[in-house]
């Protein structure tokens, strides 16, 4: 389990240490990550606050009976990705190729290597409540499903003395490993409606800047609806939003491949680094060509043109960085980082003009 943002944007040298629930790649500092999950497999909302408690309620989303095999998860979590601390509680939704779909309550944390700790079986449509409360010994994790007569309370001795400053309500396409370029297949699943959202006992104030878009394996895209009356759901994008996010999902494949390679950069041969950079450059070229050849509203079109020029500059930066030894220092490395930061700003402008959350 893990998180990030779906985008037409670079994450290569700006990827920070991430884990389940990571609030996304940061523009600085620049360093190799401990984990390199595909950052696109998460959708929902996050809030920045010192987390003492977090909770929510939702109905277990049903897997379509004609769905292909796949895995999904819906959960709440708290973390501080700078310290690599994270804890979550929620449900797993697994579509089996043999036709026996399953729904399970689980919790996990960094100490468990993000591996789900299953607490019981559920059914589609069950109304469940989840809560995590900070204690002097760690966390009390609560899960209740009255339909299944499942009520589970567990004290987890984890995170004592650590600060948890990000709270999350997430729908996820899980990844099969900590360092991987591809998430698991995603099932055809109903959109979860998350309600009674609470942090520290109160409904938070959340807007588009707190949202993130799920781009799952196979091109499934879900945009969180506006947060209102302490709840939100997900919707499929249409029109120009769909055009943009489809462009993004195609480019994300190349970004994720590079991120997985970059996570092992210190042990990668010169030949391997050259190949990784070339594959990434090819992805950039394709993205710039597709993105700038499409029809956009006037305001968006201006930003798209700037973004296209920036992408071509980053291509040049990558080649210069490779010639300089592809090291995590030096003028070529700094220039690449600067142009990636510009890239993020331009992407935010495009997304804002289309009514989408920023990076």
Backbone angles phi, psi at 112, to 5 degrees: -90, 10
228 and 301 within one domain? no
- Contact criterion met (CB below 8 Å) for 38 and 25: no
Tell me what pLDDT residue 39 has: 80
Residue 45, strand partner residues = 169, 211
Helix (H) or strand (E) holding 113: none
- In the chain, pLDDT over 70 holds for what percent of residues? 90
Q: pLDDT band at 81, cuts 50/70/90?
A: confident
Report yes or no on 185 lying in a domain.
yes
248 and 177 within one domain? no
Residue 187 tokens read as: 């099932």
300 and 279 within one domain? yes
pTM: 0.88
Residue 284 has pLDDT above 80, yes or no: yes
Write the DSSP string, 214-252.
EE-TTS-EEEEPPPBTTBB-EE---HHHHHHHHHHHHHH
- Contact criterion met (CB below 8 Å) for 167 and 49: yes
Report yes or no on 13 lying in a domain.
no
Mean pLDDT over 244-248 rounds to 92
Report yes or no on 151 lying in a domain.
yes
Model pLDDT for residues 216-226, shown as the tens digit of each residue: 988 899 999 99
Report yes or no on 316 lying in a domain.
yes
Residue 78 has pLDDT above 90, yes or no: yes
Report yes or no on 232 lying in a domain.
yes
Q: pLDDT band at 46, cuts 50/70/90?
A: very high
280 and 198 within one domain? no
203 and 80 within one domain? yes
- Contact criterion met (CB below 8 Å) for 132 and 183: no
157 and 67 within one domain? yes
Whole-angstrom distance, CA of residue 20 vs CA of residue 259: 16
249 and 221 within one domain? no
Model pLDDT for residues 319-336, shown as the tens digit of each residue: 999 999 999 899 999 999
Report yes or no on 30 lying in a domain.
no
Question: Kind of pairing, strands 102-109 and 211-212?
Answer: unpaired
Model pLDDT for residues 120-144, shown as the tens digit of each residue: 999 999 999 999 999 999 999 999 9
- Contact criterion met (CB below 8 Å) for 59 and 145: no
Q: Which residue carries 């698991």 as its tokens?
A: 184
Report yes or no on 248 lying in a domain.
yes
**Residue 175 sits in which domain range?**
42-238
Helix (H) or strand (E) holding 23: none
Beta-strand (E) ranges in the chain? 42-48, 53-59, 70-80, 85-95, 102-109, 117-121, 127-135, 138-145, 150-156, 166-172, 195-199, 211-212, 214-215, 221-224, 234-235
Report yes or no on 35 lying in a domain.
no
Among residues 208, 238, 268, which one ends one of the domains?
A: 238
Tell me what pLDDT residue 13 has: 42
CA 244 to centroid of chain Cα atoms: 18
249 and 232 within one domain? no
Q: Which residue carries 């370029």 as its tokens?
A: 181
CA distance readout (Å), 232 to 112, 206, 264, 317: 29, 10, 38, 40
65 and 138 within one domain? yes
Q: Which of 2-11, 60-69, 300-309 has the lowest mean pLDDT?
A: 2-11
Mean pLDDT over 263-291 rounds to 92
Residue with the larger pLDDT of the pair 353 and 218: 353
CA angle 206, 208, 283 (to 5 degrees): 140
Residue 9 tokens read as: 């944007």
Whole-angstrom distance, CA of residue 252 vs CA of residue 9: 8
Q: pLDDT band at 179, cuts 50/70/90?
A: confident
Of 234, 220, 187, give the one whose Cα is nearest residue 62.
187
176 and 59 within one domain? yes
Whole-angstrom distance, CA of residue 90 vs CA of residue 141: 10
Among residues 238, 270, 290, which one ends one of the domains?
A: 238
Tell me what pLDDT residue 33 has: 40
89 and 221 within one domain? yes
CA distance readout (Å), 261 to 254, 274, 275: 11, 11, 10
Of 168, 170, 171, 207, give the one whose Cα is nearest residue 356.
207
In the DSSP assignment, the letter for residue 314 is H
Mean pLDDT over 251-275 rounds to 90
158 and 51 within one domain? yes
- Contact criterion met (CB below 8 Å) for 199 and 131: no
Instruction: Count how many domains the chain has.
Output: 2
Among residues 217, 238, 259, which one ends one of the domains?
A: 238
């Amino acid at each position: 389990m893990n998180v990030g943002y779906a985008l037409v944007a670079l994450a290569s040298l700006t990827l920070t240490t991430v884990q389940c629930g990571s609030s996304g790649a940061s523009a600085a500092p620049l360093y190799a990550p401990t984990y390199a999950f595909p950052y696109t497999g998460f959708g929902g909302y996050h809030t920045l606050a010192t987390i003492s408690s977090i909770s929510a309620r939702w109905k277990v989303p049903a897997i379509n009976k004609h769905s292909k095999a796949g895995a999904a998860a819906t959960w709440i979590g708290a973390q501080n990705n700078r310290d690599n601390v994270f804890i979550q509680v929620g449900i797993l939704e697994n579509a089996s190729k043999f036709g026996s779909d399953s729904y399970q309550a689980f919790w996990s944390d960094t100490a468990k290597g993000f591996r789900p700790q299953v607490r019981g079986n559920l059914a589609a449509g069950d109304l469940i409540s989840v809560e995590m409360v900070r204690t002097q010994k760690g966390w009390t994790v609560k899960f209740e499903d009255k339909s299944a007569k499942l009520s589970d309370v567990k004290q987890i001795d984890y995170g004592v003395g650590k600060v948890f400053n990000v709270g999350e309500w997430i729908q996820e396409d899980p990844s099969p490993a900590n360092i991987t370029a591809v998430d698991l297949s995603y099932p055809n699943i109903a959109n979860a409606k998350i309600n009674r959202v609470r942090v520290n006992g109160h409904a938070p104030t959340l807007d588009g800047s707190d949202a993130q878009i799920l781009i799952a394996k196979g091109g499934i895209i879900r945009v969180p609806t506006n947060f209102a009356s302490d709840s939100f759901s997900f919707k499929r994008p249409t029109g120009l939003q769909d055009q943009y996010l489809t462009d993004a999902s195609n480019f994300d494949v190349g970004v994720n491949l590079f991120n997985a390679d970059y996570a092992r950069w210190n042990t990668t041969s010169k030949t391997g680094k050259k190949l990784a950079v070339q594959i990434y450059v090819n992805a950039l070229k394709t993205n710039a060509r597709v993105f700038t050849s499409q029809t956009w509203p006037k305001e968006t079109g201006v930003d798209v043109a700037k973004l296209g020029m920036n992408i071509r500059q980053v291509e040049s930066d990558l080649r210069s960085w490779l010639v300089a030894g592809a090291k995590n220092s030096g003028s070529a490395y700094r220039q690449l980082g600067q142009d990636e930061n510009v890239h993020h700003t331009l992407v935010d402008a495009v997304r804002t003009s289309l009514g989408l959350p920023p990076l």
